Amino acid sequence: MNLRRQLLLVSLLTLVLPWAGCQFVRETESALREGQQQMLAGTAQAIADALAQFPDQFVAQANDAPTAVADEVYGHPLATDPLLDGYLDDWMLSQDALVPLPGSDGTAAFAAGMYRQSVWLYVDVRDDVVVYSSPGGAVRSAADAVELVTTRADDSLASVTYRFAPEAPGSLIAERRGADGHTMDETRVAAQWQDTASGYRLEARVPRQLLGNRLGVVVTDADGVRSTIRMSSFPGGRPGRFVTASPLLQSVAAGYVQPDVRLTITDTAGWRLAQVGEFATGDDAPPGMASSWMRIAYSALLEPGNDAELLDPDPSGREQQEYVQRALNGEVGTSWFRNPRSGRAVVAVAQPVWSGNVQTGAVIVQQGTDAILSLRNKALTRLLNFTLIATLLVAAALLGYASWMSLRIRRLSSAAERALDDKRVQPDLPSANAGDEIGDLSRSFSSVLRQLGEYNEYLRTLASKLSHEMRTPLTIVTSSLENLEHESLGGESAKYTARAREGTARLQRILSAMSEAGRVEELIEHAETETFDLNAILSSTVTAYADAWSGRRFIYSSDCANARMEGAPELIIQMLDKLADNAVGFSAEGDEITIRLVQEQGSYVLSVTNPGPPLPERMRSQLFDSLVSVRANDAGKHLGLGLFIARLVATGHGGSIGAFDVEGGVTFEVRLPKGPERSL
């Protein structure tokens, strides 16, 4: 990981400050919300005590036999008088308000509504085949129909059924059938029958005085004269209780409502008997919050709360939230909700309503926390603005400082890599005048490089110095041995003289090899360039190798018909001689040495491949240095100057040289530019 990333990660530690501040603000909000919740519980208790004097409004028929909650029908209060057209959209109810009929497997659902003195009924049925009734006759009873069954609590046997069985889609009048079986058209009941792609819909309006306090719906699906299926909302055969809102409780609750407060009153089953007031739970920015992106960022830091959808009144008309159920069981229930998009929170308290020792219902008080929200958001805004800005400034400063430090280190690293070239050492490095640790490091590197340059220069000139200094003494020894050979010597003396002659000859060859590298460097510096055909020179030179090394087979190939380049052809030949001699030295008698010239973009590639052992791992980077040899058996004959001279020629022509292992041998590769890279 580079220095910039390390310092950037360190700068992230400053985020602990806004995190700690947010934790403090969250704790403060929780304390304020709990205080508001306790205050709201006291308000709910006072309202519940006031509602205790209206027990008859919670149980409309105290003497009525109880029925299952699933059989009960709720009459939703309607805000406006719907249009009798067979559609539900003007009821201002969601589709979730539709209650599936028991036994219908979801194919039939209904909803009931109340507007002033009228009861509205909506039924939606999925039916592949709709069978309409025929005028008169027994066939009329075998048609698809919807029946509304009602009874009164004081006479459960005196049931009345309103049957809707049209002869065609459109308006229709219900057929009234009493408990004695007598039927007649009820003109006071109006209905509209609409066909749909999946079945039909029925919307009906019934005067309230025609219905009792029990209500049930029966749907008859007749797929023919022989098949009749009956589905009802009272599987036990007895209509359930018809629950409606209480105007008296609605009026009493309206006297307690306050701004940003919603008050709901339910009976013991959870059915809504009254609801007044409203509070803002939309996506508008709450007080103290400036912009949407800040609202999203701050909401992510806040305590989530319960799902805001559970705050809304239940579409079925029966409140079943967990905190409401606790109140219906005689305990105080509390909860709070937060809208994740706006950040608004609502505190809710459910208080049981008692009339003496009998629980008659529950009162639900919900209040928005805009006052707390405003304080919290202002605190968050001030806190996070300061801390986040400070964090960003610190991070930017550290990142800039890290970038500057990284740039200095990269420059020093690049200069150190370029300090060593083929001829001299560049000891001058950047940041040498700086007074910090990087300046100390630069000066230390410069000192080391300067000493290394002096030593390298000493080694580079050592061969020529030794050659110059040893040549005169060697000449004296050689001439003395020649003169001594003309004298009469004994057997042992002649043998020792011959050995001395061999030693001086070997020293002469060593001095010649040591001088050759220096001469090549001088030739490269002073050679005159000319344009020549590289392919022709290589081809003729390789042909001569067959005579020089008869024990090896040389194969030359080229894809360049005319390889024109500028340089010194005699130096190129000398470079190839060194590579060929190296290939012969590492191959066996009868081996094949391949020399190949190919053309690539902007350069010629000359490769010499010979079978033999792979390159030693520890010597790969030193193969082309002066006085380096990897030959184990004949180190005295080879001083390690051949590949060094080859490198001098290659780089002198603006090219490069390298070596790598191939299957069964080694390849030396020289890249030479097509055009002149630099002056020779």
β-strands 592-600, 553-558 pairing: parallel
| Chain segment 591-639, per-residue pLDDT in tens | 999 999 998 888 899 999 999 888 877 666 667 776 566 555 544 455 5
Q: Which of 19-23, 201-205, 492-496, 581-585 has the lowest mean pLDDT?
A: 19-23
With a cut of 50, say whether residue 680 has pLDDT above it. Answer: no
| Chain segment 168-193, per-residue pLDDT in tens | 999 998 999 987 888 899 999 999 99
pTM: 0.54
Give the pLDDT of residue 636: 44
Give the pLDDT of residue 626: 65
- Average pLDDT, stretch 66-79? 81
User: How far is CA 281 from its chain centroid?
Assistant: 31
Residue corresponding to tokens 């008309």 = 317
Q: Which of 89-98, 161-170, 432-441, 586-595 has the lowest mean pLDDT?
A: 432-441
Residue spans per domain, the chain: 9-59+246-379, 69-238, 437-519, 527-673
- Average pLDDT, stretch 239-266? 89
Contact 524, 651 (CB under 8 A): no
| Chain segment 275-326, per-residue pLDDT in tens | 998 876 444 444 444 455 555 555 555 555 555 556 778 888 999 889 999 9
Which residue pairs, CB below 8 angstroms and at least 24 apart, start in 174-182?
174/148, 174/204, 174/206
**Alpha-carbon distance 514 to 536, whole Å?**
30
pLDDT band at 233 (very low <50, low <70, confident <90, very high): low
User: How far is CA 631 from its chain centroid?
Assistant: 58
Tally of CA atoms within 13 A in the half-sphere of 224 that contains its CB = 2
Q: What's 198-219 look like in SS3? A: CEEEEEEEEEHHHCCCEEEEEE
Q: Which of 13-17, 252-256, 529-533 has the lowest mean pLDDT?
A: 13-17
Across 637-664, b (16+ Cβ under 10 Å) vs e yields eebbbbbbbbbbbbbbbbbebebeeeee
Contact 271, 70 (CB under 8 A): no
Give the pLDDT of residue 306: 57
Residue corresponding to tokens 């539900």 = 88
Q: Where are the beta strands (DSSP E) in 208-344?
A: 214-222, 228-232, 240-244, 261-267, 272-276, 306-307, 333-338
- Average pLDDT, stretch 156-177? 86
Give the pLDDT of residue 1: 61
Least Cα distance to 557 among 595, 592, 583, 604 occurs for 595
**Three-state SS at 402:** helix
Distances (CA, A) of 576 to 399, 524, 539, 540: 54, 16, 11, 12
Contact 240, 67 (CB under 8 A): yes
Contact 230, 163 (CB under 8 A): no
Amino acid at 33: R
Question: What mean pLDDT is reported for the chain?
Answer: 79
388 C-beta neighbours (distance < 10 Å), count: 15
**Alpha-carbon distance 311 to 347, whole Å?**
9
Q: Which of 143-152, 158-167, 172-181, 519-528 has the lowest mean pLDDT?
A: 519-528
CATH 3.30.565.10 for domain 527-673, yes or no, is yes
Least Cα distance to 432 among 414, 408, 453, 452 occurs for 408
Q: Which of 238-252, 383-397, 514-528, 666-680 has the lowest mean pLDDT?
A: 514-528
Amino acid at 231: M
pLDDT band at 87 (very low <50, low <70, confident <90, very high): very high
- Average pLDDT, stretch 384-391? 72
* Higher-pLDDT residue of 498, 61: 498
Burial class (CB in 10 A: 0-12, 13-18, 19+), 625: middle
**Alpha-carbon distance 563 to 600, whole Å?**
11
- Average pLDDT, stretch 101-108? 84
Q: What is the DSSP code string of 93-124?
A: --GGG-EEPTTSTTSEEEEEEEETTEEEEEEE
- Average pLDDT, stretch 116-136? 88
- Give residue 627's region: left, alpha or beta (phi > 0; psi -120 to 50): left
Least Cα distance to 632 among 659, 613, 645 occurs for 613
- Average pLDDT, stretch 355-372? 83
Identify which of 46-55, 412-421, 514-523 has the greatest average pLDDT. Answer: 46-55
Least Cα distance to 363 among 292, 264, 273, 240 occurs for 264
Which spans in 609-661 are helix H? 642-652
CATH 3.40.50.1240 for domain 69-238, yes or no, is no
Least Cα distance to 620 among 584, 657, 651 occurs for 657
Q: Work out the angle between the directed axes of helices 642-652 and 569-585 (0-180°, nearest 10).
A: 150
Give the pLDDT of residue 63: 42
Contact 526, 472 (CB under 8 A): no
**Can 9-59+246-379 and 527-673 be said to share one CATH topology?**
no
Q: Which of 84-88, 206-210, 430-434, 665-669 has the lowest mean pLDDT?
A: 430-434
Give the pLDDT of residue 464: 66
Q: List, in order, residues 6 or more apart from 415 with CB less than 8 Å away.
A: 426, 429, 430
Give the pLDDT of residue 175: 92
Give the pLDDT of residue 119: 95
**Alpha-carbon distance 143 to 223, whole Å?**
8
- Average pLDDT, stretch 350-378? 80
Q: Percent helix, strand, coil in the chain (nearest 5)?
A: 40, 25, 30
Rounded to a whole number of angstroms, the distance between the first and last alpha carbons of the chain is 44
Which one-letter DSSP state was computed for residue 663? T
| Chain segment 426-472, per-residue pLDDT in tens | 777 887 788 778 888 888 888 888 888 777 777 666 666 666 667 67
Give the pLDDT of residue 202: 95
* Higher-pLDDT residue of 306, 384: 384
Give the pLDDT of residue 193: 95
Q: What is the CATH number of domain 9-59+246-379?
A: 3.30.450.20
Q: List, in order, residues 6 or more apart from 371 with CB less than 8 Å away.
A: none
- Average pLDDT, stretch 473-488? 74
Residue corresponding to tokens 């000891």 = 427
Angle at 20 between CA 374 and CA 34, to 5 degrees: 45
Q: What is the DSSP code string of 600-622?
A: ETTEEEEEEEEESPPPPGGGGGG
* Higher-pLDDT residue of 191, 568: 191
pLDDT band at 162 (very low <50, low <70, confident <90, very high): very high
Amino acid at 149: V
Select the CATH number that applies to the domain covering 437-519 from these four: 3.30.420, 1.10.287, 3.40.50, 1.10.3470: 1.10.287
**Alpha-carbon distance 421 to 449, whole Å?**
12
62 C-beta neighbours (distance < 10 Å), count: 9
* Higher-pLDDT residue of 621, 258: 258
**Alpha-carbon distance 524 to 422, whole Å?**
14
* Higher-pLDDT residue of 615, 394: 615
With a cut of 70, say whether residue 30 has pLDDT above it. Answer: yes
Give the pLDDT of residue 597: 92
